[in-house]
Amino acid sequence: AQKVTQTQTSISVMEKTTVTMDCVYETQDSSYFLFWYKQTASGEIVFLIRQDSYKKENATVGHYSLNFQKPKSSIGLIITATQIEDSAVYFCAMRVNTGKLTFGDGTVLTVKP
């Protein structure tokens, strides 16, 4: 069975700083995909960034980057130069070979001016 765990319920940071959100996962599959999504206040779920399990390089998209530590089954999301509009709920997710996509419970990020 697959499991995704986000231990940080909420994080508060000052604008323009860097924040890291943690995520650990469990799977028996040797190949899988890891994702981070953002859910805005309106409820919209937006894809941010993806990491393929077979790739050693950490993915980077804009001011989002990942800290992929495969031996620890960990995929952290790093947001640099945070902005007020980054305030949202962030979800970590994993898709395994069956296509099943499992989500963590989310981390609420508040960016203060």
Partner 1 sequence: DMKVTQMPRYLIKRMGENVLLECGQDMSHETMYWYRQDPGLGLQLIYISYDVDSNSEGDIPKGYRVSRKKREHFSLILDSAKTNQTSVYFCASLTYNQAPLFGEGTRLSVL
Q: Which two tokens stand for residue 1?
A: 């069975």
Q: Which two tokens stand for residue 42?
A: 């309106």
For residues 68 and 77, what is the distance between their CA atoms, to the nearest angstrom? Answer: 9
DSSP string, 84-101: GGG-EEEEEEEE-TT--E
**Which residue's entry shows tokens 């989002």?**
64
What are phi and psi for residue 86, nearest 5 degrees? -80, -10
Which one-letter DSSP state was computed for residue 72?
G
Shortest Å, Cβ 113 to partner 1: 25
Region 5-64 residues binding partner 1, contact defined as CB under 8 A: 33, 35, 37, 43-47, 50, 52
Shortest Å, Cβ 71 to partner 1: 23
In terms of CB distance, is 29 or 52 closer to partner 1? 52
Shortest Å, Cβ 106 to partner 1: 5
Indicate which single residue of 55, 101, 110, 112 sits in contact with partner 1 (rule: CB under 8 A): 101
Return residues touching partner 1 (CB under 8 A). 33, 35, 37, 43-47, 50, 52, 91, 95, 98-106
